[in-house]
């Protein structure tokens, strides 16, 4: 007995087919279809379970190679840095260092720093607010209060920006108020910058003299030339 694909039938043919089949046969067909769907979904989940570890191992290998390359590069660049210090008789204490050749290739490496503060920063902020609470007496002082409040505004992580504290310092010098200056001193003393990530950035120079950054993350690197992305990832037109 041949199997009928209901999707190929016209609405009239579907109606005729349904009218020719008993309720028991319809129930049996529905159960069979549901069982088939359940089996297909179970098979899909098994396929995913089998495939994901392989993908993860590939990424772990890439991560391991990047880690090893990072160590090798830092060690090699440190040799150049020590030579530079010795030849030019200088100390190398800054956060980053750069090297380049005569062909337009360059590399910069070092570490980045993010703002950090100890718990006394809030004491300084509270003290400034005590000062400015009594200041908004006219339009000019109200503008100053608004400016100070903007400088005291914290970022999404709950930290002040060090650049704004420098502006506060300038305001304190201009304002010439002992309490205000002491509050800014407290804030500045609470500044504890945190070293975040060690980085490597590199570039080449193309024939037109334009610098081209070398992508060093799996997110920023391009697919090999000639890759047709639509063949490996479904993209809907906007």
| 69-128 pLDDT tens trace | 999 999 999 999 999 988 988 777 688 899 999 999 999 999 988 888 999 999 999 998
Tracing tokens 């007496």 back to the chain, one arrives at 137
Terminal-residue alpha carbon distance, the chain: 46
Q: Which of left, alpha, beta for 55 (phi over 0: left; psi -120 to 50: alpha)? A: alpha
Q: At residue 1, does pLDDT exceed 70?
A: no
5: CB partners within 8 A, 6+ apart: none
Question: Which pLDDT tens digit goes with each residue over 29-74?
Answer: 777 778 888 888 888 999 999 999 999 999 999 999 999 999 999 9
Q: Which two tokens stand for residue 98?
A: 């750069």
pTM: 0.67
CA gyration radius, the chain: 33
- Is 9 in contact with 21 (CB distance < 8 Å)? no
Q: pLDDT for 148-188, tens place per residue?
A: 888 888 888 788 888 899 999 998 888 878 888 999 999 99
């Amino acid at each position: 007995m041949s199997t009928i694909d209901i999707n190929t039938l016209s609405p009239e043919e579907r109606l005729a087919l349904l009218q020719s089949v008993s309720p028991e046969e319809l129930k049996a067909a529905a159960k069979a279809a549901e069982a088939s769907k359940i089996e297909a979904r179970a098979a899909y989940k098994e396929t995913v379970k089998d495939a994901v570890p392989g993908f993860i191992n590939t990424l772990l290998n890439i991560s391991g190679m990047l880690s090893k390359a990072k160590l090798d590069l830092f060690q090699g660049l440190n040799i150049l840095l020590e030579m530079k210090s010795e030849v030019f008789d200088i100390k190398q204490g800054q956060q980053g260092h750069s090297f380049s050749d005569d062909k337009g290739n360059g590399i910069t490496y070092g570490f980045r720093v993010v703002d950090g503060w100890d718990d006394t920063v809030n004491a300084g902020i509270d003290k400034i607010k005590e000062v400015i609470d009594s200041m908004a007496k006219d339009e000019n002082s109200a503008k100053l209060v608004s400016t100070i409040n903007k400088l005291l505004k914290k970022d999404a992580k709950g930290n002040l920006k060090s650049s704004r504290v420098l502006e506060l310092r300038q305001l304190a010098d201009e304002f010439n108020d002992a309490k205000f200056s002491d509050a800014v001193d407290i804030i500045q003393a609470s500044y504890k910058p945190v070293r975040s990530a060690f980085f490597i950035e590199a570039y080449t120079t193309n024939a037109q003299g334009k610098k081209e950054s070398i992508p060093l993350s799996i997110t920023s690197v391009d697919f090999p030339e000639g890759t047709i992305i639509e063949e490996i990832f479904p993209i809907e037109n906007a």
